[in-house]
Amino acid sequence: MLKEISAGTVIGVLVFLTLKGFDITPLLLLAGVGFLAYWLIEKKGMLSSTFGGKSYIPAVPISFADIGGQETAIRELKEALEFLLRSKQVRAMGIRPLKGILLSGPPGTGKTLMARAAATYTDAVFLAASGSEFIEMYAGVGAQRVRELFNRARELARRQQKKRAIIFIDELEVLGGKRGSHTSHLEYDQTLNQLLVEMDGLKEDQDVQILVIGATNRADLLDPALLRPGRFDRQVRVDLPDREGRLAILKLHTANKPLGPKTDLEAIARETFGFSGAHLESVANEAAILALREKAPVIEQRHLLEAVDKVMLGEKLGRKPTPEELYRLAIHEAGHAVAAELLRPGSVSHVTITSRGQALGYTRQKPEHDIYLYTRDYLEVQIAICLAGAVAETLVLGNRSTGSLNDFKESIRLARVIITSGLSDLGVVGEENLSKEQMHTASTTIINQEEEKVVSLLQPHLPVLKELARNLVEKETITGRELRNLLQEQAKAS
């Protein structure tokens, strides 16, 4: 009613001024600007108020049995979820309620899946969002969205007649970054403050128990106030899977795919050290795509091996090197392969001069076991294998090429690891205490020593290098078994 009276009064005043001969154009322009500002404010408020309903969707039910390779993390998470399931016993023991669980680990390890499985495990309402969805240029919007999120969780739980709700916030470091790090934008700090207030307000005697699960791969960026007891009380590390974990994940993702009788998932698990669950899912998917392209009825081992290469390095490229470049590339990769096989017998999986991604060719090794701690001997062998490509070019062709650039970078990185880990002749030193000249001298000494060893190692095997290079030019790819046969034939001939 008040709006109608105000509108009528304004129109009456404008008509009166017009009849008196006044120019009302400036007044109309001013009114238009005011209406536009009012409309923008109303739109902003509307967007904020519907955030909790549009940005958060219920998850498709998923259980912990659907997640492979994370037994330790799942066990820790289940123990924490017992606080929700056994709330009466918790209250009787005088234990404060669990308010938050932080899942930290590399991307693709299954943090989101674990949060969804936690909701199924506890029969809770599940709401999910990314930390970036809370931050906008308007001050106060993020804080309002945090409030609405918690209110929305309570409303959904009551509507579905459930006693629990889980709020999952991915990329928590965006929302919960250290306060004061965004000097030009206090919206971040206000949003984080509101999240802290909401978590502090969670009580066990409320009709709906709310648990906040955050996920991040940069826990070092989080504000300390988030990590103190009473906020995120539990921190669960979700790491890259080990070999047994990778095998379990591969079995899960190939369960609905037709595998050939000779496929060996254990061999694929051995060759995928460092792969996350997302990588392994992509391997299984790409293998099925390769089989479909060939119109093969089942997925063979070669499809899985090529899928590993594709996920690791990218799709095959249509580069056509000249014959001279192709032979040089073959010599280079033969150097890597022969050195790797001599220094670590049985480690070479295959050698190829097929271009993928940024790699013109590559030698893939399969470690016998997953390795997490490195000795100086191991690192020196890795440096020697990196240098072997350039050394092979020098021994066979008399010079080197720019194809060794990445090998040299990796060699320098490994040499720095030896130095900073206290494994070099310098002893235990702090990297910040070494000048650039000292670091350069120490790393160069290590690399030069390994290069001399590689020259002595490859010199007696020049016939194998040349024969392997010729086979690579002809076939593009050589298996580790073929390489070992060539070395055995040379050993018998000598």
Task: Look at the chain and report how many structural domains it folds into.
Answer: 3
Alpha-helical (H) ranges within 206-361 are 224-227, 243-254, 265-270, 277-293, 301-313, 323-343
Judgement on whether residues 260 and 172 belong to the same structural domain of the protein: no
**Is the confidence at residue 269, as pLDDT, over 70?**
yes
153: nearest Cα among 74, 71, 53: 53
**Model confidence band, residue 441 (pLDDT cutoffs 50, 70, 90):** very high
Judgement on whether residues 427 and 488 belong to the same structural domain of the protein: yes
Judgement on whether residues 285 and 327 belong to the same structural domain of the protein: no
Looking up residue 282, the CATH number of its domain turns out to be 1.10.8.60
Judgement on whether residues 247 and 221 belong to the same structural domain of the protein: no
185: nearest Cα among 147, 144, 130, 142: 142
CB 218 within 8 A of CB 173: yes
Measured CA to CA in angstroms, residue 78 lies from 114, 208, 248, 417 at distances of 10, 20, 19, 38
Which pLDDT score is estimated for 387? 94
Which pLDDT score is estimated for 365? 82
Judgement on whether residues 64 and 199 belong to the same structural domain of the protein: yes
In the Cβ-directed half-sphere of 1, how many Cα atoms lie within 13 Å?
Answer: 0
Burial category of 248 from C-beta neighbours within 10 Å (exposed 0-12, middle 13-18, buried 19 and up): buried
**Is the confidence at residue 477, as pLDDT, over 50?**
yes
**Is the confidence at residue 42, as pLDDT, over 90?**
no
**Model confidence band, residue 143 (pLDDT cutoffs 50, 70, 90):** confident
Task: Specify the pairing of strand 164-170 against strand 362-365.
Answer: unpaired
Is the pLDDT higher at 138 or at 285?
285
Helix (H) or strand (E) holding 5, with range, is: helix 2-19
Judgement on whether residues 338 and 470 belong to the same structural domain of the protein: yes
Judgement on whether residues 285 and 384 belong to the same structural domain of the protein: no
Burial category of 357 from C-beta neighbours within 10 Å (exposed 0-12, middle 13-18, buried 19 and up): middle
* Average per-residue pLDDT for the chain: 83
Is the pLDDT higher at 45 or at 92?
92
Question: Is residue 395 included in any domain, yes or no?
Answer: yes
Residue where a domain terminates, one of 286, 313, 340: 313
**Model confidence band, residue 58 (pLDDT cutoffs 50, 70, 90):** very low
Question: Is residue 44 included in any domain, yes or no?
Answer: no
**Is the confidence at residue 136, as pLDDT, over 50?**
yes
Is the pLDDT higher at 85 or at 206?
85
Contacts of residue 444, Cβ cutoff 8 Å, sequence gap at least 6: none
Question: Is residue 286 included in any domain, yes or no?
Answer: yes
Question: Is residue 7 included in any domain, yes or no?
Answer: no
Question: Is residue 272 included in any domain, yes or no?
Answer: yes
Judgement on whether residues 186 and 299 belong to the same structural domain of the protein: no
Question: Is residue 26 included in any domain, yes or no?
Answer: no
Question: Is residue 8 included in any domain, yes or no?
Answer: no
Looking up residue 202, the CATH number of its domain turns out to be 3.40.50.300
Among residues 281, 333, 380, 450, the one annotated as catalytic is 333
Looking up residue 358, the CATH number of its domain turns out to be 1.20.58.760
Q: What percent of the chain has pLDDT over 70?
A: 84
Judgement on whether residues 83 and 205 belong to the same structural domain of the protein: yes
Query: For the residues 103-117, what does the mean pLDDT come to?
Result: 90
Q: By 3-state DSSP, what share of the chain in percent is helix, strand and coil, each rounded to 5? A: 60, 10, 30
**Is the confidence at residue 25, as pLDDT, over 50?**
yes
Is the pLDDT higher at 141 or at 289?
289
**Model confidence band, residue 313 (pLDDT cutoffs 50, 70, 90):** confident
**Is the confidence at residue 56, as pLDDT, over 50?**
no
- Report the amino acid identity of residue 470: R
Judgement on whether residues 88 and 218 belong to the same structural domain of the protein: yes
Domain residue limits at 189? 54-237
Judgement on whether residues 156 and 286 belong to the same structural domain of the protein: no
**Is the confidence at residue 139, as pLDDT, over 80?**
no
**Is the confidence at residue 475, as pLDDT, over 80?**
yes
> What dihedral do alpha carbons 381, 385, 386, 387 form, nearest 10°?
100
Is the pLDDT higher at 136 or at 359?
359
Which pLDDT score is estimated for 360? 81
- pLDDT tens sequence across 395-417: 999 998 888 888 999 999 999 99
Q: Phi and psi at residue 21, in whole multiples of 5°?
A: 90, 10
pTM of the complete model: 0.74
Judgement on whether residues 170 and 109 belong to the same structural domain of the protein: yes
**Is the confidence at residue 289, as pLDDT, over 60?**
yes
**Model confidence band, residue 14 (pLDDT cutoffs 50, 70, 90):** low
Residue where a domain terminates, one of 287, 313, 339: 313
Question: Is residue 48 included in any domain, yes or no?
Answer: no
Is the pLDDT higher at 380 or at 23?
380
Per the annotation, the verdict on 476 as an active-site residue is no
Residue where a domain terminates, one of 189, 206, 237: 237
Burial category of 204 from C-beta neighbours within 10 Å (exposed 0-12, middle 13-18, buried 19 and up): middle
Query: For the residues 263-277, what does the mean pLDDT come to?
Result: 89
